[in-house]
Amino acid sequence: MKIRPRLVTHQLRIGILAVQGDYEAHARMVERAGAEPVYVRRPADLAGLAGIILPGGESTTHLKILTEEGLFGAVQKFAAAGGGIFGTCAGAILLAREVRNPAQTSLGLLNISILRNAYGRQLASEIHMGLTKLRSEPLEMVFIRAPIIESVGEGVDVLAEDEGHPVLVRQGRILASTFHPELTADPAVHIFFLSLLSAGRAS
């Protein structure tokens, strides 16, 4: 069964963690999807946001900055209060309940086990076309030194797979991908994320 995102009828403010990774590409995609992007660098920046995007990069660097700037606990509180979170690649690692290879502290907001450095530490990039539950047409997926989601727990819906592994998963208003949708011309994943937040406000 395909998931049909609701049309977003009012502009949402979407935060983007702006410390590393291609957060500017996420901002452009958020605008294309019909929302207002807001760069987040400190806890006060979370005020008034419907959701936040945790971009790619190095998860250890993100974790260090989140901790030093007081954002680690602030993001957890944001999620507990109903805020949506979308993590891509390193952002998916930050969201996971369990991180391996090596083990690492995480936000623990998404009931998945994820494997870091799954394809080695060298820069590895691949582009695949794959089917998802978002629509009938294939989706372009850009993988850059991607982690692997090893297992999903209760409450997690697998929205897309690639080579036998989940690559796009959702738990409530938490969304994660091991690929980089912001590096394509297709805003489908960002539109889906916005639809989750819009539906949450309407309910």
Q: Which residues does the annotation mark as catalytic?
A: 89, 180, 182
Report how far residue 78's alpha carbon sits from residue 75's, in angstroms, rounded to the nearest whole number: 5
Cα distance between residue 91 and residue 10, in whole Å? 26
Q: Which residues pair with 169 in a beta bridge?
A: 158, 176
Please count the helices (runs of H) and the strands (runs of E) in the chain: 5, 12
**Orientation angle between helical segments 59-68 and 71-80, nearest 10 degrees:** 90
Q: What is the largest CA-CA distance in the chain?
A: 45
Q: Which residues pair with 88 in a beta bridge?
A: 177
> Which helix (H) or strand (E) element contains residue 140?
strand 139-144
What is the rounded end-to-end Cα distance, in angstroms, of the chain? 22
